Structure 1
Amino acid sequence: MWVYKGQACDTFTDLDFHHAIVGTTLDVRLLLYTRANSSCGRLMSHSAPPPELNLTRPTTFIIHGFRPTGSPPNWLEPMVVELLELRDSNVVVVDWNRGAANIDYFRVVRNTRATANNLTAFIRTMEENGASLASIHMIGISLGAHISGFVGADLNGAIGRITGLDAAGPMFAGKPPEDRLDPTDAQFVDVIHTDMDALGLREPLGHIDFYPNGGADQQGCPRTILSGSAYFKCDHQRSVYLFKESLRRTCETRAFPCATYADFMDARCTDCADFGAQGCPVFGYGVVAWKDSLVRLGQSKYFFNTNNKSPYCKTNYRLDIVAWNQEVQWGYITIKMYSKNQSAKATIDHKKLNFAKYTETQLLAQFDRDVTTVEKMSVTFFSSIVLRPKHKLRVLRLRLQRLEGSDRPLCRYDLLLRDKEEITFRPIPCEESNF
């Protein structure tokens, strides 16, 4: 058993499926973690914050969601540690597992209001003892996102930030703002949608709403029910793992404002001029740096794609191809980049591409990793026309422009791409004056 300052550590309530069947009575427990006790929770009284809760520091609340099996979330302890490594703060785990562990989802939903009321009262006590509401960040997962919204509304939107990780959809879809998370609940509300066609919500809820991989089917998640429970929860939980990875800052994921995911995939939304020198927002914990611009611009959707496992971040390029074949060619493109010790691949196959003579086709090329110095490239064309043999795509110019940073675009001129044949070449700086 862990011990902190002579006291046994308090841990998240560990229940099982039996509790979920018979039901439990709501009991909200607040577990405090600081850099001095990052692996040992301190159970706090709701009426009097303990001395370890330094109210001059910022405070982050983590609020879990529906727990149908009653077990503690496996991502919880790592997230606490990573938040404390990132910032000297108070991290409070809101353990309402005795209200969330129940196979009756509708009963759990009813418990969200009572949980929010409990948490609101505690935060008001913090404020009375000198805490600034602007320094509070609430991270709510699934139902926890709406609990955060209820608390924020009760406090008149004075909380500094609410992050909603795939806010729960069932019983909240189509509800008015006062019955779910919405942008007025905090000074800044950022939301991640990863399962909008099942357990999450489709509509925007914050000042910025991220839709990884379009917001529904996540890369690497099972697509059939034969995979068991992972089929139901993988997309929903991906929001947590994407956000958690942003805490480590091993790589950055830029997100692009766009009306639809289809337009994003067609490279129609690569302009980040509204954000000036900062460029388009970085997804995750660090997006607060774009707060002023995002609040000014108003509610909108932002898209990005991910790899199927960690590290999830991709590197974004725009690929422009000018064809000069006599007949229109239809197909797909795979492009690779190489340096001395690195390689990266982008497959552009979200739809059949149309390559017409002297027409520039703009594509979004998202590479699975970052190659800092590109020494050579390769391109493979896959024709989608099966009735005629020996399909060829004649390329007058191929231009590859990185969307992040100010790297000079790379080009190659006069290429003949045969169906399924990989062509390797050394790129050269683009002769922009020619086009």
Structure 2
Amino acid sequence: MLRLYFFIGLICFVKSDTDETCPSFTRLSFHSAVVGTGLNVKLMLYTRKNLSCAQVINSTVFGNLNVTKKTTFIIHGFRPTGSPPVWMEDLVQSLLSVEDMNVIVVDWNRGATTVIYNHASSKTRKVAEVLKKFIDQMLVEGASLDNIYMIGVSLGAHISGFVGKMYNGKLGRITALGYKEPLGNIDFYPNGGLDQPGCPKTILGGFQYFKCDHQRSVYLYLSSLRENCTITAYPCDSYRDYRNGRCVNCGIPQKESCPLLGYHADNWKEYLKQKDPPMTKVFFDTAEEKPFCIYHYFVDIITWNKNIRRGSITIKLTDRAGNTTESKINHEPATFQKYHQVSLLARFNQDLDKVAAISLVFSTGSTIGPKYKLRILRMKLRSLAHPERPPLCRYDLVLMENTETVFQPILCPKLQM
């Protein structure tokens, strides 16, 4: 069983518009959350035959459900205001756009809607039992457990786990969005798994402060379903090691491939070849806004200063059309020693195919005192997102501290590739 876990935070306060001419997700009010709701589970089926109009199904009425195809269950979590999840429709449509499958929305809003979290969590096992009964009937009709996929958000992740345990870990796959501790075969930690870029840092951000970090897991998963955004993750022992460029061997030619975030995570061939895959933690960074993609490059620098220099590098790339993207590599100050190569992991919001110019800025972080020089014997830029691209080089550069140096790169000699 393949389990994917994201840790992104706290609770969700969301809303959505629903087409009332078709069966729709249960919409409740904050009053319902205050007085509490009894559990009622509604299963809504979407297929490519009924993309925008759900069919309510149960153990005796399957509707358009084709048991020979993959069946993906989407299970929401705690609903403290009673509103439908704002991301639900987008997730349904995105899944059906990438694969011809059955998508079943598990609507347990009557049960999840309450201001008391424990009241909602106490109903999760009962929801799992409802799903077990339905899946059992699917199996009678010829379905396979290998074709069952569960995407659980928050308490929905717990429900998914309960169902998986009922089948002794034989479900095809579980993706769980919203947990910190490593529990799955692959555990994804975006930006270290804590505060997410672009989310409010204080309560002054209003409701977004409570929901943004937690909800980001869903939007990162949605990004993986779009062709213009492939987020690569890197197996590593810690976020610090990843940020310092110590865990990116999987992006180098002749090495194993890197796992991809989200829907296509099960394409990690080296991982799937193992009979009993071990638990693996993977780390990655994201941008502040959709589609959140970050593109990784290595900046290899060999210096020839007589004395050791410590500081950070800011690098900016420009393509032939004048588009620019910048990365400040300042996770930890780098130590530059004579004739010693330092490999810095740079992260860019854009992926420029044809780099026409590169600029570098060296800084020790000091605002007073003497300005230093960084004498570069060789700088090499290589893409991790596209390792097939030839690396770019420049030789004999002198960087004056806090001064931008712009140059045109050349292709590195093949012996250095």
Q: Report if TM-score (shorter chain) is over 0.5.
A: yes
Tell me what 1:110 maps to.
Answer: 122
1:352 corresponds to which of 333, 336, 344 = 333
Distance 1:280 1:292, change over 3 A: closer
Distance 1:107 1:276, change over 3 A: farther
* Cα deviations by residue, 1:133-185 (Å, 9 ceiling, x for unpaired): 11111000111111101001101222111111123xxxxxxxxxxxxxxxxxx
**2:147 aligned with 1:127:** no
Aligned residues of 2:149 and 2:171 also touching (Cα < 8 A) = yes
Residue correspondence of structure 1 range 172-321 to structure 2 within 5 A: 201=180, 203-272=181-250, 279-290=257-268, 293-294=271-272, 296=274, 297-321=277-301
Paired with 2:391 and 2:84, the residues of 1 have a C-alpha distance of 49
Paired with 1:411 and 1:358, the residues of 2 have a C-alpha distance of 16
1:215 Cα deviation (Å)?
A: 1.1
Amino acid at match of 2:288: N
Aligned residues of 2:57 and 2:63 also touching (Cα < 8 A) = no
Q: TM-score, normalised by structure 1?
A: 0.86
Tell me what 2:11 maps to.
Answer: none
In structure 2, stretches of 5+ residues that fail to align are 1-17
Distance 1:434 1:163, change over 3 A: closer
Aligned residues of 1:61 and 1:94 also touching (Cα < 8 A) = yes
SS in 1 for 2:40: coil
Amino acid at match of 1:18: H
Aligned residues of 2:298 and 2:343 also touching (Cα < 8 A) = yes
Amino acid at match of 2:95: L
Distance 1:274 1:359, change over 3 A: closer
The sequence identity of aligned pairs, in percent, is 48
Tell me what 1:322 maps to.
Answer: 302
Aligned residues of 1:352 and 1:384 also touching (Cα < 8 A) = no
Distance 1:157 1:292, change over 3 A: farther
* Cα deviations by residue, 1:316-347 (Å, 9 ceiling, x for unpaired): 11111122223332322111112122322222
1:431 Cα deviation (Å)?
A: 3.9
Paired with 2:339 and 2:414, the residues of 1 have a C-alpha distance of 16
In structure 1, stretches of 5+ residues that fail to align are 168-200
* Cα deviations by residue, 1:169-205 (Å, 9 ceiling, x for unpaired): xxxxxxxxxxxxxxxxxxxxxxxxxxxxxxxx2x211
Aligned residues of 1:330 and 1:384 also touching (Cα < 8 A) = no
**2:57 aligned with 1:44:** yes
Residue correspondence of structure 1 range 12-23 to structure 2 within 5 A: 12-23=25-36
Distance 1:330 1:432, change over 3 A: farther
Amino acid at match of 2:408: R
**2:163 aligned with 1:151:** yes
Amino acid at match of 1:430: C
Between 1:287-296 and 1:271-280, the stretch displaced more is: 271-280
Paired with 1:113 and 1:274, the residues of 2 have a C-alpha distance of 44
Paired with 1:292 and 1:315, the residues of 2 have a C-alpha distance of 22
Structure of greater relative contact order (alpha carbons < 8 Å, 6+ residues apart):
2
Paired with 1:352 and 1:20, the residues of 2 have a C-alpha distance of 50
SS in 2 for 1:15: coil
Paired with 1:380 and 1:274, the residues of 2 have a C-alpha distance of 26
SS in 2 for 1:375: strand
Distance 1:424 1:247, change over 3 A: same
Residue correspondence of structure 1 range 26-45 to structure 2 within 5 A: 26-45=39-58
Tell me what 1:184 maps to.
Answer: none
Paired with 2:163 and 2:303, the residues of 1 have a C-alpha distance of 56
1:398 Cα deviation (Å)?
A: 1.1
Residue correspondence of structure 1 range 2-21 to structure 2 within 5 A: 8-21=21-34
Distance 1:433 1:36, change over 3 A: closer
Aligned residues of 1:256 and 1:304 also touching (Cα < 8 A) = yes
Q: Calculate the aligned-residue CA RMSD, in Å.
A: 2.1
Paired with 2:73 and 2:61, the residues of 1 have a C-alpha distance of 14
SS in 2 for 1:399: strand
1:417 corresponds to which of 381, 399, 402 = 399
**2:348 aligned with 1:336:** no
1:274 Cα deviation (Å)?
A: 11
SS in 2 for 1:361: strand
Amino acid at match of 1:303: F
Paired with 2:233 and 2:207, the residues of 1 have a C-alpha distance of 30
Q: TM-score, normalised by structure 2?
A: 0.90
Distance 1:366 1:143, change over 3 A: same
Aligned residues of 1:207 and 1:295 also touching (Cα < 8 A) = no
Residue correspondence of structure 1 range 35-74 to structure 2 within 5 A: 35-45=48-58, 47-74=59-86
SS in 2 for 1:85: helix
1:291 Cα deviation (Å)?
A: 5.7
Aligned residues of 2:244 and 2:344 also touching (Cα < 8 A) = yes
1:108 Cα deviation (Å)?
A: 1.1
Paired with 1:252 and 1:84, the residues of 2 have a C-alpha distance of 18
Distance 1:275 1:75, change over 3 A: farther
